[in-house]
Structure 1
């Protein structure tokens, strides 16, 4: 009987988590039509304490999705437009001399926010892109020898155009590895595009979007996600899937140990959003492509055969033995 209150409390926390996450998803869907899977993954990455890379051609709603998520949460949000002349200090901040006090004062950059929207991140030089490396991994910024902590939650949502587009730079491998997942918006269905013409033609839905969750609520959700149970067989399965990318002849570069960590964290959030307080292999399978594909480099043979990392991962998922979870 003593265990009953704990079970009840766990169920209540899970119901609260799902309810709050649904509010955030519904708020975003009021702006982005017909992209429920993309929106679900976006919320999953937020609750997994991760960062999201949105890649697609211009005009399909990448920035709108990032702004909609930012607006749905009542927390500090900063937007950075990445351009070729952007400097690292324009992101992290700079120490400026104060003539009145005779001392240097730190002026925080836009990275000091709970949600940072980086628009067209691959239009900036690799040197500027690398300014995000420390803050995305260690949740801190070091300027002139001084280290400044970033508040939780902290999420970078970056958009980028395909590398084939004019004026773009390839993201460094270390930068890509710090993004928990990469998604593509894709073109909307005709019905959704028709609705977009009706809605967006009369007004701007983003202007009407009010916050539906507070910073404290998001922090509580993140804490609840950490408590989602992952059994040893499921952990071993995650390691096996990631290890298979390192052994595949179709890949020059497999996924890193950081990728394994991101995969399991995301699976915890995915399970919770599905109403479960435990992870199953299906959670890992559903997230394998968005979490792993952008970290991989295909071999010359695979490129010659037009085999994309997403295809390789799908094949590996079918090949790696799935644990029997009772």
Structure 2
């Protein structure tokens, strides 16, 4: 696609949305992993090999997840998006040795340019409509470092997660808290037009006892609401950060989620809540949440970065350069 108008490839074999749609419709049912046009997408062969390693389950998963996660971190996620339909069956198979690893990297392709992003208007932002093949769809997110339309990658990954949301939802009840967190992170990218995901998240929050999982569920609910407006959820999040009986992790996650869903100036009690609860130790601990981990940068924990970008945007970007100095 280098040097060509991406719109001219819409709906064809170089459009990852179209290829994933074919998988989801059953057009490629029964075909082997190698039968798909991985080579049409940047780093496609690397992604194919990574999926193969995760599928066979006999090798350490770290190498495969590093490849898929690295593609997203380096803003080259088209091939990783093509991997999503193959990752979901692994992630939802509790007996598969790499199911947790597959779930960890499942949602990365469904978010564009989210690493180091921590502002109110962009942290939980979704713009691309899954499955839409409009010629200008790629304009939503611009292009990746390879020149591939970023919006196409995001739409393809989100379409796959949306189609398989019914098999991902039970993971919110998994015995492992880390699985519940990663499931919430993935489900937050689904197109939730019938509010099934939001309802499931609210139900999980009502029964969840792990503070970090409860925080993850709140951020997932906020992300879903950012894509599909729901004023009651905005009010619910405000009530959560105002509730002194809630754990600090929950109140901080609710505060971040609420800030992303409203243009209202941050009230004084929110500033007080954050100033009191956002200790350095807690900020580092909250990097266990994938939203906060992705928002981190330059040695700054994700929560600290969110607070600075959302409430103190006049403060300069920190530097991790040991030779940096100010005049």
When normalised by structure 1's length, the TM-score is: 0.31
Greater Cα radius of gyration, structure 1 or 2: 1
- Which structure: greater strand fraction? 1
- Which structure: greater helix fraction? 2
Higher normalized contact order (CA 8 Å, seq sep 6+, divided by chain length): 1
When normalised by structure 2's length, the TM-score is: 0.31
